[in-house]
Chains A and B, each alone.
Chain A
Amino acid sequence: ETGVTQTPRHLVMGMTNKKSLKCEQHLGHNAMYWYKQSAKKPLELMFVYNFKEQTENNSVPSRFSPECPNSSHLFLHLHTLQPEDSALYLCASSQDLRGGETQYFGPGTRLLVL
């Protein structure tokens, strides 16, 4: 599947590192999302972008910094993370934010913070 791609697929980083996650969608969608998926917890919405503008920041710590240069690309910049930030980070996209639009997920980046 190539609709929504994410790189890297796996990432191990120390607490003092800076790294970035990349998401790209080839579906012509206008809205993009970052989710955090931890074991035994619901999917947690982190950020929402619509037409490159951030419309939702779900009380995410500042050590996570999103960037959306255009409607096809979404980044998540990581800085001084904590071990509890280890999780699967999923990117998703949808046509727009009208509501009731299917979200298409990427394969995720499995992040381990040591």
Chain B
Amino acid sequence: GENVEQHPSTLSVQEGDSAVIKCTYSDSASNYFPWYKQELGKRPQLIIDIRSNVGEKKDQRIAVTLNKTAKHFSLHITETQPEDSAVYFCAASRGGGYQKVTFGIGTKLQVIP
């Protein structure tokens, strides 16, 4: 089955700096890679996703890159703000009627004001 590894497990950055979280996956058939943000005591919420036919996707201060050959994808947050503090989860899944999503262990991001 799919195995998703995520690092670092914790990350502290100064407000205004960039943060990068990296994930690798094992199943070459995976083609959908969402990222979820979970604030303390709240539910995970999708913040951005990327499909295997795209190498990069950007949404304001958040961007995700995908390298299918190396089987890794990354989340980039620029100009971090205190409200970016949360746990971020990467995930990978196949398409085509099979929707088992495998999550990474999560990265706890702390943005220091």
Contact = CB atoms under 8 A, between A and B. Distances in A.
Interface residues of A, number: 26
Interface residues on B, range: 20 to 34
Interface of A: 1, 4, 31, 40-43, 45, 48, 56, 58, 90, 94, 96-108
Contact of A100 (B44, B95, B105, B106): B95
Contacts of B99: 31, 48, 94, 96-99, 101
Interface in B24-55: 31-32, 34, 36, 42-46, 49, 51
- Secondary structure type dominating chain B contacts: loop
A101 B44 CA distance: 15
Contacts of B95: 98-100
Contacts of B96: 98-99
B105 A102 contact: no
Secondary structure at the A interface, as helix, strand, loop or mixed, is: loop
B32 A99 contact: yes
Interface of B: 4, 31-32, 34, 36, 42-46, 49, 51, 89, 93-106
11 contacts: A48-B99, A90-B43, A98-B99, A99-B32, A99-B94, A99-B95, A99-B97, A102-B49, A105-B43, A105-B44, A107-B42
